[in-house]
Amino acid sequence: MKGFLWTLFVFGISTSSILSQTLVEPNQNFVWEGFSFVFPEPVVVKTESLMSQKLTVYPAKRDGFFMVVRTLPWLEPFDPKSTWKDSVFTRGIEPKEFQKTLGNLNFQIFQADQIRNQNALRNQVWIGLESNPGLWIWIQWKSDRKDLTEFFESNRFLSL
């Protein structure tokens, strides 16, 4: 039994030291890699450093959305043979593609609805066209959360 508890203790230390997490309150500016974000409710943000920088955002109190933000070493990952859209939009319903300008940044936005685990979800991927390093944002939220639909589709998460 002591060996088992020692293993759990060592495992707990090794996993907790890897994660960098911060609680961010609603409507508070959160700056990451020079980009500023605002969230609609209390969230936990986790930062990771891989080949590119990665920020993952989870709601702190209730389920409803998540966000992954990455910096990429290229400006336009629009290879027509690329399958990254398929990995984000698994069986996407009514996929759309459009551009938006916010402040001095232009974005290519891919959007699709999907059903996953009996949940109706909305997905958006925002790709910064001129930022260096490239900015890639994937947002997924439950479609029945109209407050989140209004928040994300009116671009309030990017405080530029």
What value, to the nearest 5°, has the Cα angle with vertex 59 and ends 11 and 105? Answer: 110
Q: Residue 13 — very low, low, confident or very high, per pLDDT cuts 50/70/90?
A: very low
pLDDT at 81 over 70: no
> What residue type is assigned to position 122 of the chain?
R
Q: Which pLDDT does position 62 carry in this prediction? A: 81
Structure tokens at 127: 């790709």
Report how far residue 40's alpha carbon sits from residue 66's, in angstroms, rounded to the nearest whole number: 11
Per-domain residue ranges of the chain: 20-153
CB-facing half-sphere around the CA of 146: CA atoms within 13 A: 0
Helices assigned H by DSSP within the chain: 2-18, 84-88, 146-153
| Average pLDDT for the chain | 77
pLDDT in tens, 106-136: 888 889 888 877 788 999 989 888 766 678 8
CATH architecture under which domain 20-153 falls: 3-Layer(aba) Sandwich (3.40)
Q: Residue 44 — very low, low, confident or very high, per pLDDT cuts 50/70/90?
A: very high
pLDDT in tens, 49-66: 766 788 999 999 888 899
Q: Which pLDDT does position 8 carry in this prediction? A: 36
pLDDT at 37 over 90: yes
Report how far residue 64's alpha carbon sits from residue 140's, in angstroms, rounded to the nearest whole number: 8
